[in-house]
Every structure is written in structure tokens, then in C-alpha cells.
Structure 1
Amino acid sequence: MSKVNWKPGTMVYPLPAVLVSCGETPEEYNLITIAWTGTICSDPPMCYISVRPNRHSYEIIKRTGEYVINLTTEELARATDWCGVRSGKKFDKWKEMGLTPAPATIVKAPIVQEAPICIECKVKEIVPLGTHDMFISEVVNVLADERYLDPETNAFSLKQAKPICYSHGHYFKLGDPIGKFGWSVEKKKTKMKRKKKRSE
């Protein structure tokens, strides 16, 4: 199978398409759509967002040192795209998209009430990289929508939440699961037990 050389580029796809909320007061609350985001450490829990310095939210996040990563869903797809192509300097994105800013638990930045998961973050370091600056941040709290929690296990159902992702200029639904972590080496007995439990 032959391969073709392309110039270096950001070809790691798909990516989460998230709505990042920021601001300390209702007057400055804003939303920015981010795809350059991810996990960078599990203990302590840390993640990052990369933002262009000319974006309206950049100075807000830099000054306050706080933001919330709000995961998005099929229902939030239009709002996610719209908030990525309109500036908070000119629009009240919350009002335009019918989204609800609600209090976070620890940070002053609001959460998006309609999001299934809201990840409260505090900036630890800002790394200038070129077109974007990376905000390396500690996760200080996570808020989960009870609608998507299993009442017995308290596990979060991603499938039920219908999250979306971003890939090379397009938004996509996520498909059906094909296995859980470690399924490739799982013993036959364990598989049978899990299958039996699901059928009960």
C-alpha cells in the first residue's frame, strides 16, 4: 500500500469540539468554540486549550486564569459551529444561541447549562507556540448532567449524550462502541460474566 507525502500539518483527527466558557461577571461572559483541546495528565487531572491571541476570549482567559470546557452534543452542534465563527465583541453568543450561563462550583467562569459535561479549569501555564498559545490547566471540578448517569454505577453514558467531534473542517456524530479498554486481552471467562450481566 503506497503512501503520499504531505507537508507537515495538524492531521490528528477526530478531535472533541467543545464550547469554552469564560468571564468573571455576566457582562463579560463569553463562549469560544475550541477543537485544539485534550487531556495531558491524569494525576493531577490536567488538560489544555490552544487559543489564538486575537480571539476575544483570549484576554479574558489570560486575565482571569479560569475557564470551563463544556462538551457538546448533536443538539448543540449548530451553537457549537456558530460560536466558532462569530466574535463575542459583536454578539452576545449566549442570547443568540439560546444557551444558559449557570454558576460553576469552583471557578468564576460560567458553565453551559445545556452541556452534558462541564470541566472547570484553572490555568497553570501559558505556552506561546506560534499561531496559538496553549493554556495548560488543572481540572478543579467536573459537573455531569444527571440525565446521562447510570443510577446504579454512576457511570456517564457517552452514547446517550450523543457527543460530536470535529474532523478536518467538518462535525461528525460518534458511532457505536467497538470495545472497552483492555478488551483485546480480556479472558474468556470475564467476557462471559460481563455478557451475562448485560442480559440480566
Structure 2
Amino acid sequence: MEKTTWKPGTMLYPLPTVMVSCGAEADEYNIVTVAWTGIVNTDPPMCYISLRKSRHSHAIISKNREFVINLTTRALAFATDWCGVKSGRDFDKFKEMKLHPVPADKVKAPMIAESPVNLECVVKEIVELGTHDMFLAEIVAVHGDKKYLDTETGAFNLAKAEPIAYAHGKYYVLGDFVGKFGFSVRKKKKKRRAKKKPKK
């Protein structure tokens, strides 16, 4: 198999693309779009986001040490991109994108009502890395839109929300279901052979 080689870079795709909301008071509420994000621990549940120091949200999160990660969807793709290229210094992003801030349970930062899943996060450590600072945070509450709950099983069906991911400068809706965790090693159930009824 022939490969080509590039200089070291961030070629780790696809990534979740999320809208991070922040601010302790309504007059400082802001939204920043982040692709440098992920889970880093299970118990306690922890995640991270990485921001440039120049971003307006960097100062807000550094001061308040909390934020909300809001998952994004096909319907939110335009707002997701817009909030990533415009600055909160110049625009009220909630107002401009007709998004609605709603109170969180554990943090002062608002959640985005239109997002299917909201993760309330409390910053535990800020790590200076170079171009970006990493905000290492504990997830202290999770909220899901009830319309994606299966009324029979109680399972949350995020696929129905058409979540989007980021890959090399482009946004994509997640594709077809190919398997459930552990399906590669799960034993197949043997088909029961139907007993033949004796001829009369």
C-alpha cells in the first residue's frame, strides 16, 4: 500500500464540532464554536476544549471557570459555522442566530435550548500548550432533549437529531449505522432448529 507523507499536523478527523456557551451574566453570554474537544476520563466524567488566547470566550471562561458544551446538528450547521467565524466582541451571537439561552442546573453559563444535548462543565485546570490553551473540565450535569427519547425503551436516539462532525475544514452529517460497541467479538446466537413434526 503506497502512502504519501506530510509535515506534522492536526490530521485527526473527524471531530465533534460543538458550540460552547459561556458567561455568568446575560450581558457577557457568548458562544464559541470548537472542534478541539473530547472526553478524557470516565469517573469522574471529564472533557476538554482548547481555545486560542485571542478568542473572546477565552477570557470569559478563564474568569468564570465554567462553560457548557452544546452538541450540534444539521439544523444548527449554519449557526455553528457563524459562531466560529464571528467574534462575541462585535455581536450578540444568541440574538444574531436566533438561539435561546436557558439556565443550567450547576453552572452560571447558559445552555443553548436548540441543542439536543448540553454538558455543564466546571474547569479544573488550564494548560498552556502553544497556539491554544486547554481547559480541562469536569462534566457536572448532562441534559437531553426529550423529543429524542424512545418512549418505549427510554433510550436516547441522538442519530435522529442528525449530529454533525468536522473534518479538515468541512462539516458532515454522521452517516450510516455500522455496528454497536463490542459487536466484533459478540457471539452469534445459534439458530434453533425447528423440530420436525412426525407424519401422521
Please indicate the TM-score interval, normalised by the length of the shorter structure: over 0.9
User: What is the distance in 2 between the residues matched to 1:158 and 1:189?
Assistant: 28
User: What is the distance in 2 between the residues matched to 1:100 and 1:111?
Assistant: 8
Q: Residue 130 of structure 1 aligns with which residue? A: 130
**How far off its partner does 1:156 sit?**
1.4
**How far off its partner does 1:152 sit?**
3.0
User: What is the distance in 2 between the residues matched to 1:191 and 1:180?
Assistant: 21
Equivalent runs, 1:163-174 vs 2, <5 Å: 163-174=163-174
**How far off its partner does 1:86 sit?**
0.1
Equivalent runs, 1:1-200 vs 2, <5 Å: 1-189=1-189
User: RMSD across aligned C-alpha pairs, in angstroms?
Assistant: 1.3
C-alpha deviations, 1:2-47, integer Å up to 9, x for none?
1111100001100011000000000000000000000000111000
Q: Residue 197 of structure 1 aligns with which residue? A: none
Q: Percent identity?
A: 62
Relative to structure 1, the CA distance from residue 187 to residue 69 in structure 2 (aligned partners, 3 Å threshold; closer, same or farther) is same
TM-score for both structures, normalised by structure 2: 0.94
User: What is the distance in 1 between the residues matched to 2:47 and 2:159?
Assistant: 23
Relative to structure 1, the CA distance from residue 153 to residue 96 in structure 2 (aligned partners, 3 Å threshold; closer, same or farther) is same
Q: Which has the higher helix share?
A: 1
User: What is the distance in 2 between the residues matched to 1:191 and 1:50?
Assistant: 50
Q: Residue 195 of structure 1 aligns with which residue? A: none
User: What is the distance in 2 between the residues matched to 1:191 and 1:21?
Assistant: 51
| 3-state DSSP of counterpart to 2:27 | coil
Q: Which has the larger radius of gyration?
A: 2
Gaps of 5+ in 2: 193-200
**How far off its partner does 1:154 sit?**
2.3
**How far off its partner does 1:103 sit?**
0.2
**How far off its partner does 1:159 sit?**
1.3
**How far off its partner does 1:155 sit?**
1.8
| 3-state DSSP of counterpart to 2:177 | coil
Gaps of 5+ in 1: 193-200
| 3-state DSSP of counterpart to 1:119 | strand
Relative to structure 1, the CA distance from residue 24 to residue 191 in structure 2 (aligned partners, 3 Å threshold; closer, same or farther) is farther
C-alpha deviations, 1:131-151, integer Å up to 9, x for none?
000000000000100011112
